[in-house]
Amino acid sequence: MRILVTGGAGFIGSAVVRFLVELPGVSVINVDKMTYAGSAESLSVLDQRGDYVWEHVDICEPESLDAVFREHKPDMVINLAAETHVDRSIDDSAAFIRTNVQGTHVLLEASLRHWQAMDARRRNAFRFLQVSTDEVYGALGPTGRFTESTPYAPNSPYAASKAGADHLVRAWCRTYGLPVLITNCSNNYGPWQHPEKLIPQSIIHGLRGCPIPVYGGGENVRDWLFVEDHAEALTLVLTQGRVGATYNIGGAQEWRNLDVVREICSLLDEAVPKSYRHSELIKFVADRPGHDFRYAVSSDRIRGELAWQPRTGFKEGLRKTVDWYLRNQDWWGLSDRVAFGHGGAQRGDVDVRERGAH
Q: What is the CATH number of the domain that holds 17?
A: 3.40.50.720
pLDDT of residue 37: 87
Is 358 domain-assigned? no
pLDDT of residue 318: 98
Q: How many domains does the chain have?
A: 1
Active-site option among 135, 228, 229, 263: 135
User: pTM for the full model?
Assistant: 0.91
Is 86 domain-assigned? yes
Is 344 domain-assigned? no
Cross-strand bridge partners of residue 224: 187
**Whether residue 355 has pLDDT greater than 70:** no
pLDDT of residue 344: 34
**Averaged confidence pLDDT in the chain:** 92
Concerning whether 247 is annotated as a catalytic residue, the answer is no
Concerning whether 269 is annotated as a catalytic residue, the answer is no
For 243, other C-beta atoms within 10 Å of its C-beta total 14
| pLDDT tens for each residue of 48-73 | 899 999 999 999 999 999 999 999 99
Whole-number Å distance between alpha carbons of 350 and 212: 9
Q: Give yes or no for a contact between 260 and 282, defined as CB atoms under 8 angstroms apart.
A: no
| pLDDT tens for each residue of 70-112 | 999 999 999 999 998 898 999 999 999 999 999 999 999 999 9
Active-site option among 137, 158, 189, 295: 158
Whole-number Å distance between alpha carbons of 350 and 348: 6
Domain of residue 27: give its range. Answer: 2-189+224-249
Is 217 domain-assigned? no
SS3 content of the chain, % helix, strand, coil (to 5): 45, 15, 40
For 50, other C-beta atoms within 10 Å of its C-beta total 6
Is 14 domain-assigned? yes
Segment 341-354 shows an average pLDDT of: 33
Confidence of residue 162 (pLDDT cuts 50, 70, 90): very high
Segment 318-328 shows an average pLDDT of: 97
Active-site option among 32, 55, 134, 229: 134
Whole-number Å distance between alpha carbons of 296 and 186: 7
Segment 234-238 shows an average pLDDT of: 98
Whole-number Å distance between alpha carbons of 91 and 83: 13
Is 266 domain-assigned? no
For 22-91, give the DSSP string.
Answer: TSTT-EEEEE----TT--GGGGGGGTT-TTEEEE---TT-HHHHHHHHHHH--SEEEE------HHHHHH
pLDDT of residue 334: 57
Confidence of residue 333 (pLDDT cuts 50, 70, 90): confident
Confidence of residue 313 (pLDDT cuts 50, 70, 90): very high
Is 118 domain-assigned? yes
Concerning whether 51 is annotated as a catalytic residue, the answer is no
Is 340 domain-assigned? no
